[in-house]
Amino acid sequence: MAFNDFGKIFRITTFGQSHGVAIGVVIDGCPSGLPITKEEIDRELAFRAPGNNPYVSPRKEKDEVEILSGIFEGQTTGTPIALLIRNMDADSSKYESTKDLYRPGHANFTYLQKYGIFDYRGGGRASARETVARVAAGAVAKKLLSHYGIMLCSFTAELGGIAIEQPPFSCLTELKAKVLKSELFCPDEKIEAKWKEKINEAKADGDSLGAILQAVVTGLPVGLGDPVYSKLEANLASAMLSIPATKGFEIGAGFLAAKMKGSEHNDAFGTDEFGNARPVTNFAGGTLGGISTGLPLTFRVAFKPTSSIQKVQKTVTVHGEGKEFSLPPGSRHDPCVAIRANAIIEAMSALVLADALLLNRCAKL
């Protein structure tokens, strides 16, 4: 596991397992002079944390960051920013009994085969708990982006097979407010109601659901992204597929583009209100040749249903013995992991974009 870092200049290195002492991140390469507070980071952690509604895990991850280094008198100093989040609500005992079972949909199988050892408590490093470090780092990246007028919003776009209509992106503050008001981060109240039914059904059945999240970024200048292997969409795809439970990524028209004709998909060029050349439609989703066009960046991420379910599943032990396995009723798992992943998607997107923003300073003489 040699590559627990992400980014080139604005680069994070994360550490920590689900039931270890702490989860943390070192942000290396953040420019000096950025004002950032513990409160701003905690706010993002809260966005990610399980809420107190019936649609997410009842675990209490009241996460709070400790700033260990890199910030002095309220500003970044250019030195590495280390952020620590202690693990609190971790009850490891219940993992003892299943530690020799390969759990369907889980990574203990591959970790054990690869490393010969696995911290089985709560999923170890393979647990989505790991993403709290990403969200903490993302808070700093978001602050940097906001300094340059760049804003991000991720929301749930499809759940249990029911999709929302594409919301308008003209005012992202408005969209973001709507999304944050929803327990499922859904900008459409009617659809949200249907999703809640779906979730209630799945929960009652001891089952789980998948979903698709969508992200929008506005305020990007033209020019972010470094072809050919660091195309903006390549870096975003890598970022998204590194999030636990993700199964797909698409930008702009995405997989639908495969069904379109060139004359339908090509975005014509025109001029914007300031006379700048810009594409007039946005099937491309905000990039051309891997470089941002100045139009909103839009992409979608597919999440598989939560692997931890209460239904009986077939499996084997590490000794090859066949077993049946099911989580006991009352297990504290999200019925749909995607919901809380909106915070992670925003964080990872912010990391990709902060890095691209800095790298772009080196493009011209």
Among 284, 339, 341, 347, binds its own copies (CB under 8 A): 284
145 touches its own copies (CB under 8 A): no
**Which residue in the set 151, 236, 344, 347 belongs to the binding site for its own copies (CB under 8 A)?**
236
Q: Are 224 and 356 in contact (CB under 8 A)?
A: yes
* Residue 270 within binding range of its own copies, rule CB under 8 A: yes
34 close to 144: Cβ distance less than 8 angstroms:
yes
Cα–Cα distance measured from residue 340 to residue 302, given in angstroms and rounded to the nearest whole number? 13
Distance separating alpha carbons of residues 35 and 76, to the nearest angstrom: 6
Stretch that binds its own copies, among 1-9, 88-96, 164-172, 184-192 (CB under 8 A): 1-9
Q: Pick the piece of the chain touching its own copies (CB under 8 A) from 46-54, 55-63, 88-96, 260-268.
A: 260-268
* Options 7-15, 54-62, 168-176, 182-190: segment touching its own copies (CB under 8 A): 7-15
Applying CB under 8 A, does 361 fall inside the site for its own copies? yes
Among 222, 282, 331, 332, binds its own copies (CB under 8 A): 222
Question: What is the nearest approach in angstroms of its own copies to the Cβ of residue 174?
Answer: 26
Q: Is 31 left (phi over 0), alpha (psi -120 to 50) or beta?
A: beta
Question: Could you say whether residue 219 binds its own copies (CB under 8 A)?
Answer: no
What separation, in Å, do the N-terminal and C-terminal C-alpha atoms of the chain show? 38
Instruction: Show Cβ contacts of residue 127 under 8 Å, excluding neighbours closer than 6 positions.
Output: 17, 18, 244
CA distances from 296 to 12, 85, 162, 214, 263 (A): 25, 33, 24, 12, 21
Hey, CA dihedral for 235, 224, 349, 164, is it positive or negative? Answer: negative
Q: How many residues bind its own copies (CB under 8 A)?
A: 158
Element (H, E) at 355: helix 341-359
Return the residue of 118, 155, 185, 195 that touches its own copies, per CB under 8 A.
Answer: 118
The answer to whether 207 and 311 are in contact (CB under 8 A) is: yes
Q: How far is the CB of 244 from its own copies (least distance, A)?
A: 8
Instruction: Rank residues 174 and 290 by Cβ distance to its own copies and give the closer one.
Output: 290
- Per CB under 8 A, the list member of 40, 51, 58, 78 interacting with its own copies is 78
Compute CA distances 47 → 119, 145, 157, 359, whole Å.
27, 18, 18, 29
x/- contact string, 84-113, with its own copies (CB under 8 A)? x-----------------x-xxxx-xxx-x
CB 232 within 8 A of CB 225: yes
Check residue 255 for interaction with its own copies (CB under 8 A): yes
Nearer to its own copies, 52 or 328 (CB): 328
Spatial separation of the C-alpha atoms in residues 100 and 322, rounded to whole Å = 12
Among 58, 67, 90, 100, binds its own copies (CB under 8 A): 67
Residues 194-213 that bind its own copies (CB under 8 A): 202, 207-212
Measured CA to CA, the distance from residue 123 to residue 129 in angstroms comes to 9
- Closest CB to its own copies among 37 and 79? 79
Instruction: Give the interface segment with its own copies, choosing from 46-54, 172-180, 281-289, 339-347 (CB under 8 A).
Output: 281-289
Whichever of 193 and 363 has its CB closer to its own copies, that residue is: 363
Strands, DSSP E only, in 50-122?
A: 65-69, 71-72, 75-76, 81-86
- The yes or no reply on residue 280 touching its own copies (CB under 8 A) is yes
Kindly state whether residue 282 participates in binding its own copies, applying the rule CB under 8 A. Answer: no
Q: Tell whether omega for the bond before 337 is within 30 degrees of 0, i.e. cis.
A: no
What is the gyration radius of the CA atoms in the chain, in angstroms? 21
In the list 37, 43, 89, 269, the residue contacting its own copies (rule: CB under 8 A) is: 269
- Positions in 297-336 near its own copies (CB under 8 A): 302-309, 311, 313-316, 318, 320, 322
- Shortest reach from residue 177's CB to its own copies, in Å: 25
